[in-house]
DNA sequence: TATCACTGGAAAACTC
DNA sequence: GAGTTTTCCAGTGATA
């Protein structure tokens, strides 16, 4: 049989493509499931946006979140007043 | 001339469409300008996401922001511990 | 026992959060697996970018069809108001 | 004078915020104007939804063309690797 | 009022 | 590890 090498490669290619496509399907289903849970929570009166925030924050490094809050506070202070509050930072 | 009414309507339609399209262009340009400012700020070392947050919060009613923060804190507490912190709320 | 409602809600909140976090973990693992397959294919001499394009094209057909249907619906809606195709000249 | 750097940064931050807020206001006004035009057209007997569709279709052509070009690029990239069109049979 | 669709931003993932 | 692209979600506006 001619082109044995090509067939060999083609077989592998087919295999890779089908494996990937199968996993993409699983991933897609998983995303749909997650969305479904949020929807369910919403149906019970929970605030979806806040819930997403909770999951995000819990997934963050602890200090990471606090730091981002501090930066936000600093920006808010500076934007809202004529002078820097404590003069203890270069802002960025 | 026949179809005077139709032409009349067509003239108005043309006018409406062109006026709308012109304003849509202006709006598009404005959005691009705003994005440009954020980009400029970023180039000076400011954190873009935080900056957007500042603008958003400043545009919110004051109590509104504080309330959303309190709800977030409550959710975080509940999600992170086995019991409710103060027992003074129905959560939602 | 007092506060049954709050504890009930808290239990649900914890349940939602843990279910979501668990699924997010699965999703994360799945993404890693997919990446692994691409890596394996690359090791066998396949061009990763091309392989991704193949998967994308194969998955795109359905979506493309639906999108073209939506555009057709738009045209039909306009045409249904006597603006297309004969009256087209009156539009611009 | 100490802290010149911080004040400098603070001034810039305030400037960015006020410029953005001003432009957001303009954008808001523009959106209101567009809505007003649609309302005016409606008052003259035009169907608002159809009118919006007309504007959308007229604005869509360019984008649609670019999208089809991207799809073509995908195909060409795959074809450039000897997978299309003759070797198509080996793919699936 | 509430749902639907769309635009625009944030985050994630792949590439180099 | 940085930049770019892609995917996802929040917010806004229109419609019923």
Q: What is the pLDDT along chain B (92 residues), one digit of tens a residue?
A: 556 777 888 999 999 999 999 999 999 999 999 999 999 999 898 999 999 999 999 998 888 888 889 999 999 999 985 544 444 445 55
pLDDT of residue B47: 93
| CA distances for D44 relative to B19, B22, D35, D39, D54, angstroms | 15, 20, 15, 9, 17
Mean pLDDT, range D16-29, rounded to an integer: 96
Quickly state the pLDDT bin for D34 (edges 50, 70, 90): very high
Q: Angle, nearest 10°, between helix axes A62-80 and D4-43? A: 80
- Contact at CB, A87 and D13, closer than 8 angstroms: no
For residue C22, give the DSSP letter: H
- Note the pLDDT of residue A81: 61
Which tokens is C48 given? 């990763």
Q: What are phi and psi of B52, to 5 degrees?
A: -60, -40
SS3 call for A61: coil
Query: Which pLDDT does position B83 carry in this prediction?
Result: 46
To 10 degrees, what angle do helices A48-59 and A4-43 make? Answer: 120
Q: What is the pLDDT of residues A34-76, one digit of tens each?
A: 999 999 999 888 999 999 999 999 998 878 888 899 999 999 9
Does D13 contact chain B (CB < 8 Å)?
yes
Instruction: Answer whether D3 sits within 8 Å of A84, measured CB to CB.
Output: yes
- DSSP conformational letter for A2: -
Res D7: pLDDT = 85
Residues whose CB is less than 8 angstroms from the CB of residue D91 and which lie 6 or more positions away in sequence, other chains included = A10, A13, A14, A17, C54, D83
Q: For residue D1, name the pLDDT band (cuts at 50, 70, 90).
A: low
Residues ≥6 apart with Cβ < 8 Å to A31: C27
Identify the band that residue A6 occupies on the pLDDT scale cut at 50, 70 and 90.
confident
Q: How far apart are the first and last CA of chain C?
A: 73
Residue D65 pLDDT grade (very low, low, confident, very high; cuts 50, 70, 90): confident
CB contact under 8 A, A20 and C46: no
CB A9 within 8 A of CB D87: no
pTM of the full predicted structure?
A: 0.86
The 3-state secondary structure of A15-37, one letter per residue:
HHHHHHHHHHHHHHHHHHHHHHH
Q: How far is CA A61 from CA A40, A76, B43, B55, D61, in A?
A: 28, 23, 27, 26, 46
Residue B60 distance to chain C (closest CA, Å): 27
A92 pLDDT band, cuts 50/70/90, is: low
pLDDT at D86 over 70: no
Residue with tokens 């808010």, as numbered in its chain: A76
Distance from C-alpha of B48 to C-alpha of D11, rounded to nearest angstrom: 16
Q: Pick the closest to residue C87 from D56, B7, D51, B5 (CA basis).
A: B7
Q: Which nucleotides of E are covered by protein (CB under 7 A)?
A: 7-16
Q: Pick the residue with more confidence: C86 or B24?
A: B24
Here the tokens at position A66 are 């606090």
Q: Three-class SS of residue C65?
A: helix
Q: Which segment of C51-55, C64-68, D43-47, D74-78 scores lowest on mean pLDDT?
A: C64-68
Tell me what pLDDT residue C35 has. 95
Rounded CA-CA distance A50/A46 in Å is: 8
Can you give the length of chain B in residues?
Answer: 92
Q: Choose among C5, C14, C91: nearest Cβ to B78.
A: C14
Q: Assign residue A3 a region (left: φ > 0; alpha: ψ between -120 and 50; beta: otherwise).
A: left
Rounded CA–C1' distance between D7 and E3, in angstroms? 48
Rounded CA-CA distance B91/C7 in Å is 9
Cβ neighbours around B66 below 10 Å, total: 11
Query: What is the C-alpha separation between D18 and A72, in angstroms, rounded?
Result: 17
Section D72-90 average pLDDT: 76
């Amino acid at each position: 049989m001619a082109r044995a090498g090509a067939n060999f490669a083609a077989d592998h290619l087919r295999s890779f493509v089908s494996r990937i496509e199968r996993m993409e399907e699983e991933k897609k289903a998983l995303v749909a499931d997650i969305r479904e849970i949020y929807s369910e929570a919403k149906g019970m009166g929970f605030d979806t946006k806040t819930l997403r925030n909770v999951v995000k924050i819990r997934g963050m490094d602890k200090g990471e979140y606090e730091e981002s809050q501090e930066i936000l506070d600093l920006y808010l202070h500076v934007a809202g007043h004529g002078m820097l509050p404590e003069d203890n930072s270069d802002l960025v």
